[in-house]
Amino acid sequence: MNILVTGGAGYIGSHTCVELLKAGHEVIVFDNFCNSSPESVKRVQQITGKTLSLVKGDIRNREQLESVLREFKCEAVIHFAGLKAVGESVEQPLMYYDNNVVGTVRLLEAMQATGVKTIVFSSSATVYGDPQYLPLDEAHPLSASNPYGRSKIVIEDMLRDYYRAHPDWKIALLRYFNPVGAHESGLIGEDPGGIPNNLMPFVAQVAIGRRERLNIWGGDYPTPDGTGVRDFIHVVDLARGHVAALQALDAPQCFAVNLGTGVGYSVLDVLKAYEKACGKTLPYAIAERRPGDIASCYANPAEAKRKLGWEATLGLEAMCADSWKWQQMNPNGFKA
């Protein structure tokens, strides 16, 4: 299939392009590089030995999207393009609604105009809010405590509404848990600008000596060791989930599935596993809780297995080893 991948130069997007190319699809990346680099697209081609098409453009530009969908005869869209920093979304909510929500409206309009009716959307476990029960299944009520999370819920609602009006569409909403790790080649990985917000990129920078120590946000949560528990999923497993979702969209439908492992690890578990991977002791301090954080969050991945025939296969050891390989080979990310 010819697949338009919005945000295909980003962290999850680039890993998904590798899996799509490996599965024999034609890939057209559409990205404005606001939080990514064209270098990742080169690396994807290096890994796979295949070529893909790259178009620089903004998701809010409907005309450009339309002409790209037409020119490349796209049959499906995987939609990653969006902003994802929680703190920034609190400070600049309009920017989040504009990029994430308005951008998706423009994309759907362009798809409608060109007759492309298949879309896989990057949602997030953040749509569950503070869990009422664990593990989280897809029937758990949705809620959000910040504009980023709300933008994901709004887009999910919009896609469900759109499907009700256009029942010939094929729509998959993939709710990611905590993506970490990197491609085993060490050629692509997560390249956060500035100080990383997320745990594993921060730990990686401590390991490489760019940061003095990890601050653990809270040691008094009601968890086995007092630190937060999350469902970390290897980004390559996550990428494969997208190929499986496309395959599962063989008939009109709209569904949401969790992409997680079903296993929760604590912040300290991750730190210890990373120490093993890099062979160093990593300094840390227990600090105040980060506002808005929850104690525990992990998936019930049964629906993904049933619906997509997909399940995560890579464990915490591989997540840390691959992150460390990427970090060592690219101490400054994609910058030379």
Tell me which stretch binds ligand UD1 (CB under 6 A): 70-78, 101-109, 210-218, 323-331.
210-218
Q: Which is nearer to ligand UD1, 107 or 238 (CB)?
A: 238
Question: What is d(CA 186, CA 50) in angstroms, rounded to the nearest whole number?
Answer: 18
Among 122, 124, 323, 330, binds ligand UD1 (CB under 6 A): 124
Cis peptide before 135 (omega within 30 of 0): yes
User: In the beta sheet, which residues pair with residue 233?
Assistant: 179
Among 14, 35, 118, 126, binds ligand UD1 (CB under 6 A): 126
Concerning whether 148 is annotated as a catalytic residue, the answer is: yes
Please, which of residues 286-325 interact with ligand UD1 by CB under 6 A? Answer: 290, 292-293
Q: Binding of ligand UD1 at residue 267 (CB under 6 A)? A: yes
Among 6, 104, 122, 178, binds ligand UD1 (CB under 6 A): 178
Q: Binding of ligand UD1 at residue 210 (CB under 6 A)? A: no
Q: Can you read off the two tokens belonging to residue 196?
A: 């990383």
CA distances from 74 to 31, 135, 263 (A): 16, 37, 36
How many CB atoms sit inside 10 A of residue 307's CB? 17
Q: Binding of ligand UD1 at residue 271 (CB under 6 A)? A: no
Q: Binding of ligand UD1 at residue 192 (CB under 6 A)? A: no
CB of 216 to ligand UD1, least distance (A): 4
Q: Binding of ligand UD1 at residue 215 (CB under 6 A)? A: yes
Residue least distant from ligand UD1 (Cβ): 228
Instruction: Let me know: does 192 contact 198? Beta carbons within 8 Å.
Output: yes
Question: What is d(CA 49, CA 329) in angstroms, rounded to the nearest whole number?
Answer: 20
Residue 52 three-state SS:
coil
Q: Binding of ligand UD1 at residue 228 (CB under 6 A)? A: yes
Closest Cα to residue 299, out of 154, 133, 80?
133
Among candidate residues 96, 148, 221, 298, the one labeled active-site is 148
CB of 110 to ligand UD1, least distance (A): 26
Q: Binding of ligand UD1 at residue 216 (CB under 6 A)? A: yes
Residue type, 58: D
Report the C-alpha dihedral over residues 182, 187, 188, 190, rounded to 10 degrees: 70
Tell me which stretch binds ligand UD1 (CB under 6 A): 37-45, 127-135, 285-293, 316-324.
285-293
Q: Can you read off the two tokens belonging to residue 1?
A: 């299939």
Tell me which stretch binds ligand UD1 (CB under 6 A): 50-58, 102-110, 131-139, 193-201.
193-201
Residue 164 three-state SS:
helix
Question: What is d(CA 35, CA 193) in angstroms, rounded to the nearest whole number?
Answer: 7
Instruction: Let me know: does 31 contact 13? Beta carbons within 8 Å.
Output: yes
DSSP 126: G
Question: What is d(CA 121, CA 13) in angstroms, rounded to the nearest whole number?
Answer: 11
Q: How many residues bind ligand UD1, per CB under 6 A?
A: 21
- For the window 71-110, what string marks contact with ligand UD1 as x by the rule CB under 6 A? -------------x-x------------------------
Strands 232-234 and 178-180: parallel
Q: Which is nearer to ligand UD1, 217 or 334 (CB)?
A: 217
Among 48, 53, 92, 197, binds ligand UD1 (CB under 6 A): 197
What residues are annotated to the active site?
A: 148
Sites of contact with ligand UD1 (CB under 6 A):
84, 86, 124, 126, 148-149, 178, 197-199, 202, 214-217, 228, 230, 267, 290, 292-293
